[in-house]
Structure 1
Amino acid sequence: MGRHAPEPRSRNRPLKVYVTETERTALTEAARSAGLSVSDFLRRVGLGVQVRSILDQDHVHEVMRARADLGRVGGLLKMWLAERPGVGAPPRSVRALLDRIEAAQDEVRQKVRAL
């Protein structure tokens, strides 16, 4: 459905929706997780506007920060391999760890794209 432009603050026409207590709780929680009032949530859903959960967005940002941290660790390992190979740990072990970090980064990237 297309987006509907809001009318100038003339929202004085209530619309009754009969729900069970379970449905009321679910709608209230869904609105809260989207950072909206129940009225705004129902209006947007009813008009076909996609409502995104702010919790989901927070989780995506956390995952992206973790992916960036993995990248920094991988960068430090690469630098260590280039500047001090064999000091403190065998290069083969460090390269294996680096491969695991890169695989974890790829997995995080794929999961975020799937959201």
Structure 2
Amino acid sequence: MGKDEKQTGRKRHHHLRVPVFPEEKEEIERQARQAGLSVARYLREVGQGYEIKGITDYERVRELAQINGDLGRLGGLLKLWLTDDVRTAKFGEATISALLGRIEATQDDMGRVMKAIVRPRAER
């Protein structure tokens, strides 16, 4: 019994047959795996117009975590400067401007990674 059947208490009795070429079969199976779904559930959801939410690439998540750490460290430096900490007494305007520029560049990096993870929605 599948997850949907357990939730609704209903069992599916009707089957659809769809003839496909071998390369189409491989592509459908690849996309289903990428979404973390069985082929049947993937096709059922796509066929009903549902947006498929895939499994996020772990490498991209790791990259985002590193970028987030960079932002935290840069923010910590800025906080020290704003609190007039003696360790930042030598920071001048040029240093702070460079720090703010680096924070902005790091945010851009994060946006780039996020765009690579998120796929555009299918036209409905």
Structure 2 length-normalised TM: 0.65
Residue of structure 1 equivalent to 2:56? 55
Residue type of the partner of 2:103? I
Deviation at 1:60, TM superposition (A): 6.4
- Name segments (4+ residues, structure 1) moved above 6 Å: none
Residue of structure 2 equivalent to 1:102? 104
Is residue 31–residue 37 contact of structure 1 (8 Å, CA) maintained in 2?
A: yes
> Which residues of structure 2 form unaligned runs of 5+?
1-6, 119-124
Residue type of the partner of 2:107? Q
Aligned equivalents of 1:113 and 1:33: distance in 2? 17
Residue type of the partner of 2:70? L
Is residue 70–residue 105 contact of structure 1 (8 Å, CA) maintained in 2?
A: no
Provide the aligned length of Structure 1 versus Structure 2: 107
The CA deviation string for residues 8-52 of structure 1, in whole angstroms up to 9 with x for no partner, is: 432122210100110000000100111100000000000111111
| Coordinate RMSD, CA, aligned | 3.1
Q: Percent identity?
A: 31
Aligned equivalents of 2:110 and 2:27: distance in 1? 30
Structure 1 length-normalised TM: 0.69
> Which residues of structure 1 form unaligned runs of 5+?
1-5
Residue type of the partner of 2:74? G
Aligned equivalents of 1:52 and 1:59: distance in 2? 17
Residue of structure 1 equivalent to 2:88? 85
Is residue 34–residue 52 contact of structure 1 (8 Å, CA) maintained in 2?
A: yes
